[in-house]
Structure 1
């Protein structure tokens, strides 16, 4: 990796932690209400707090995604994989910007532990990359599968009145599914069961902590 590329990645990392993200796609809009559907209602204060906490968790997930893809780009020597990781990271940066904007709309804040989440994910991603490209792609595929399931769970618990957050999460879920499928098709190997379990355990700690802090 050249010095210019390292500077660009360092800049992306700082922007991710600081919450200054660039989006290439507009924020997803809620789907039009179906004929005969109940009128849109305002969220209660507890519902707003819950939505904000879920979006904070998703924002943390996108910070981790930036770090993971950066680390995997650093670890691989394949120009094709670098380009694939860059494409996925660009779409994840959209997610980062969308969730940050939604947090502001909900009068809430990002996680106070974002530097910790970013650093940890960077280390994990680089470690995965050091086991070779197929293992790195397998790690990417499994990560995206777990994130997809996590977002699916959010769609079941988001307040019905929060149609904006729901639209964002639905688009994020669809993108994560595509990233995971692309990694598998590119040659990603199936990870051992203990590794998958460890990833789920680490994700659970992160999500439960970021919900509050």
Structure 2
């Protein structure tokens, strides 16, 4: 049992305390840095910090869901999605630093809460586990679309990163649907939206 948990401890440590690495090219590679005012730079920084927190939460969610998923195929699908989220983690972390900022000081707290939610979703059974994943990715996609609207037009580097993340998240939602995700009750969806708003408001600044 302990041997099975070692990779999960490694995931926690790498997500929270080690620089993430991307196996794919960075979406903003080769793009020139746009001319941003101080206000625009701070706004872009806040949005990209929120996106980095979202990827920290995604790692924890996928980890918790994989821990409790019953079907091997579902576990492998969750792991594949988690690998892509590591790339998102690397992209957003790099961009936050380029904008002169730091990632959220509350990342350990976000991780712990998301891990607990992921474990809980998995314990309900695979179809609800996948349903939670599908709804999460749909909400993340909408959140990224809003960021594309909110980022300064000249911040082409941040926009390229967010645009690619949006495509990946849409694919993750489609994957969950194809594997048999059950639609979540409306009150659960609304609760997820509310918790996301709280996280976003806090991590934009802290």
Which structure is larger by alpha-carbon Rg, 1 or 2? 1
Pick from 205, 208, 212 the counterpart of residue 205 of structure 2: 212
Please say if residues 65 and 89 of structure 1, whose CA atoms lie closer than 8 Å, have aligned partners that are also in contact. yes
Residue number in structure 2 paired with 1:21: 20
CA contact (8 A) 2:34 2:156 kept: no
CA 1:135–1:48: 2 relative to 1, 3 Å: same
In 2: Cα distance, 1:153 partner to 1:31 partner:
25
Seen in structure 2, the aligned counterparts of structure 1 residues 162 and 123 have a Cα distance that, compared at 3 Å, is same
Q: Does structure 1 conserve the Cα–Cα contact (< 8 Å) formed by 2:28 and 2:158?
A: no
Q: Which residue of 1 aligns with 2:46?
A: 53
1:20 is displaced (CA, Å) by: 2.1
Please tell me whether the aligned partners of residues 63 and 114 of structure 1 are also in contact (alpha carbons under 8 angstroms): yes
Q: Secondary structure of 1:212's match?
A: coil
The secondary structure found in structure 2 opposite 1:12 is helix
C-alpha root-mean-square deviation of aligned residues, in Å?
A: 1.6
Instruction: Note if contact 2:31-2:156 (Cα within 8 Å) is conserved in structure 1.
Output: no
1:36 corresponds to which residue?
none
d(CA) in 2 for partners of 1:81 and 1:189?
14
Cα distance in 2 between the residues matched to 1:137 and 1:199: 15
Residues 30 and 163 of structure 1 are in contact (CA less than 8 Å); yes or no, is this contact kept in structure 2?
no
Aligned residues: 206
User: Partner of 2:120: helix, strand, or coil?
Assistant: helix
Supply the distance in 2 between the matched residues of 1:41 and 1:189 (Cα, whole angstroms).
Answer: 43
- Any stretches of 5+ residues in structure 2 without a counterpart? none
Task: Give TM-score scaled by structure 1 length.
Answer: 0.93
**Pick aligned residue for 2:155 from 156, 162, 165:** 162
Give every structure 1 segment of 4 or more consecutive aligned residues whose post-TM-superposition deviation is greater than 4 Å.
30-33
Shift of 1:32: 7.7
The residue aligned with 1:124 is 117
Which secondary structure does the structure 1 equivalent of 2:204 belong to? helix
Check whether the contact 2:61–2:115 (CA below 8 A) recurs between aligned residues.
Answer: yes
CA distance in 1, matches of 2:177, 2:44: 32
The equivalent residue for 1:11 is: 10
After superposition, residues 146-185 of structure 1 pair within 5 angstroms as: 146-185=139-178
Q: Report the alpha carbon displacement of residue 48 of structure 1 after superposing the two structures with TM.
A: 0.6
